[in-house]
Amino acid sequence: MATVLIQAKPEALAIDLAKTAVLMIDMQRDFLEVGGFGDTLGNDVSLLAAAVKPCQALLAAARQKGMLVIHTREGHRPDMTDAFKAKVERGSPSLRIGQKGPMGRILIRGEAGHDIIPELYPRAGEPIIDKPGKGSFYATDLEAILRNCNIESLIVCGVTTEVCVHTTVREANDRGYRCLVPADCCASYSPEFHEVSLRMIYAQSAIFGWVTDLASVLAAM
């Protein structure tokens, strides 16, 4: 692997593929499928489907290159001792975190809904980060994995753009990582939030990171 130049906003970004990881955030059944947590909150979960095929293509290319691929899942311990009351009780969904849903207890580790969708399921050896919050660094060993693997840049994908993806990019930026976000490898229940979140990332000379698209990443790789 070598350093490649990827076309992006606000400007092209040079990254060393050997020191770059693909971070696939929260592509879980609870967020993408009917009956999951996203659905109980009143969202149109079909809007997230647009990111699945682009993510598949990116995963295939990254795996072919031998790049580090990391997956995350948001969810809580079965005893919910890591689930803050303020999070569990927020809003008025028909089903809350921890309650029984069509795919098991909502956002609880080990339940069917908590797991990653089959189309993007991790391969053997790809780390899976189980996180209790929105950000992928909070209360996880993600940073230890990245440091041990000499990672300097992240290609960040997943859902939702304005929540877990955006929070993770901000966390990573503060830790010194370059973040590249392929817009079509992310999605939101709100197209407006998706677009605004991406603009926030690359504003002010890439204040949090760079935004690109799948075609530009594949062309460079």
Question: What is the rounded CA–CA span in Å between residue 17 and residue 8?
Answer: 16
Q: Taken in order 99, 105, 107, 113, is the CA torsion positive or negative?
A: negative
Spot the catalytic one: 26, 39, 115, 213.
Answer: 26
Spot the catalytic one: 131, 134, 157, 213.
Answer: 131
Is 26 in the active site? yes
Torsion of CA 22, 203, 216, 172, to 10 degrees: -10
Residue type, 138: Y
Kindly give the residue spans of alpha helices, DSSP state H, lying in 71-181.
Answer: 85-88, 142-148, 166-174
Specify burial of residue 143 (Cβ count, 10 A radius: 0-12, 13-18, 19+). Answer: middle
Hunting for tokens 């909502």 — which residue is that?
A: 106
Spot the catalytic one: 55, 157, 164, 185.
Answer: 164
Residues involved in catalysis: 26, 131, 164
